[in-house]
Structure 1
């Protein structure tokens, strides 16, 4: 394997000159630059990425932490971030924290040792330990999807309160009045904000917000929560359910089917996220779409600003941007069926 010394020897220049040509750290005469590049091509020399990163204090590599990469929503979010990074000339290292605080800390240390230029973080949870771990990290950082209380870092996310209201108002517009909610983990701001939107929408029109259970953002969690909601008599059970993510909504669809009921005839269902699978359920799932592409692009733009500011010692203030969600109405939330009107004797249609 050829070394930088071999390139310098063949080109008839110093090792320092070769370094300046490859790293573009100083102007070199065109004829000299041409000889160096020809030597590089002849020898098939590949510069060491580690050595180069030490020289220019940048690796053009970013790290990303997600709580559960088996959740299709996070898989789609990662894809959007990766595409944005590639377009900007950056590679992305992904770490799945598996909703575990200790694992998140380990990955923060690993990414720091890998000399990534910055971090995009969808935090595992909103507890004090998580906030402390992230606050102690010196790398430039932007939060995505989930804000963290007490952590002064830029954050881009969907307006989850508005999303919860959109879902609930849609169900009311479909003629539903007994509307339940399946919330996500209670230690996540984003989850509780969706629940808050559901509650506010009902309170605005004077409907009770008394049917609330929580799941864990998994399909099984939604299945168990829906079974709990359906255990009451027909008069007390919900006629509609807002489920705070699409995976739980899919579990809820199964629970309704197993109870001998039909969606949307007996129970209308609206999810949250608009993952690709949502349009392939039976019936197709109505949901609140998060603008994942826009979130990814904004998060990367802010992170690159902070990386550049760190090099120039110019402070960049933390900021939060709430992106607008959108309701996607499909078959699972059609209007409630009206009771048939009996035909009087002698009446003709």
Structure 2
């Protein structure tokens, strides 16, 4: 097998530079790091297993791991992952695949270089192929909050389409016909499910879909507040809004207070909740609910068992959301009597 000195000679750099590049240390420019990694790949270099920490797994993102438009889901997910790993004395590292993986570096080599034995993956519409490639490469991995037909991809997610439809049907039964949807602009399976549930409920009840009531937003408080300001200033504003994310729901409720719009007397709101946030709002909001922490916990427990070799059972789990009626939905106001 090729040595560090062999790689240094092939890449035309010092042994120290090769060591820094292979161990992902700073003070190596991108071009040099790529040249070293490519030389290592061509020479079949495999990092000694004794240098790989065996009790570390990764939470890996296709790009930046910290973004406001990811919403509150990831913080709840991380809480569950840590709970699942702590029980087995495992640690976690957070990876940005797009930033750190060299252009021609295979996934197995990349994760080995990063010192991790297994990966929990966050997937979005534009990174599904990458998740499949990682699974095809034989890397122990599980995707959270998405589902796949490919039998090699392990995943755990929730199905929110049915309860999103149930939530909108609840509003329709109360008498609402002008029902808006505030949906996260980052496209993934979860938000596609919620949009489809919304459209299905309208169609089944004979309520015409109005494109002006569909608002793409950043899933944070500002996004929810801006959606309310836009919608309630329409010539024919909605009498109800369904938000697909918890922080957008809170932002929308805050904007209602600022605009002196009473919830639910003037405007009914249905939100989405990844934890128990709905019970800490005033008034407690009606919501489609999932337990993001449980998804993280189950993903972490399964991954540790797989990495340890304790189980070779696949994980292809689809959990069901729930729909909980609280204090933010009521019959629509009589037109002209708001406030």
TM-score, scaled to structure 2 = 0.69
User: Residues 131 and 148 of structure 1 are in contact (CA less than 8 Å); yes or no, is this contact kept in structure 2?
Assistant: no
1:192 aligns with 2:192: yes
Equivalence map 1:1-349=2 (5 Å): 54-55=49-50, 59-65=54-60, 67-68=65-66, 71-95=71-95, 102-103=98-99, 105=101, 112-123=112-123, 125-127=124-126, 131-132=129-130, 135-136=133-134, 138-147=138-147, 152-210=152-210, 211-233=213-235, 236-308=236-308, 320-336=316-332
Q: How many corresponding residue pairs?
A: 274
Aligned to 1:266, the other structure's residue is in SS state: coil
Q: Which runs of 5+ in 2 are unaligned?
A: 1-47
Task: State the Cα deviation string for residues 110-137 of structure 1 (Å, max 9, x = none).
Answer: 75423222111123x3215x63376246
Q: Which runs of 5+ in 1 are unaligned?
A: 1-52, 340-349
CA distance in 1 between partners of 2:175 and 2:181 (Å): 17
User: Residues 145 and 189 of structure 2 are in contact (CA less than 8 Å); yes or no, is this contact kept in structure 1?
Assistant: no
CA distance in 2 between partners of 1:177 and 1:85 (Å): 47
Give the drift of 1:265: 1.0
CA distance in 2 between partners of 1:152 and 1:93 (Å): 24
Give the drift of 1:209: 2.6
Larger relative contact order (Cα-Cα within 8 Å, sequence gap ≥ 6):
2
CA distance in 2 between partners of 1:216 and 1:152 (Å): 32
Give the drift of 1:151: 9.4
Indicate the residue corresponding to 1:43 in structure 2.
Answer: none
Larger radius of gyration: 1
User: Residues 76 and 274 of structure 2 are in contact (CA less than 8 Å); yes or no, is this contact kept in structure 1?
Assistant: no
CA distance in 2 between partners of 1:240 and 1:110 (Å): 48
Query: Structure 1's 134 and 163: CA in aligned 2 closer, same or farther, altered over 3 A?
Result: same
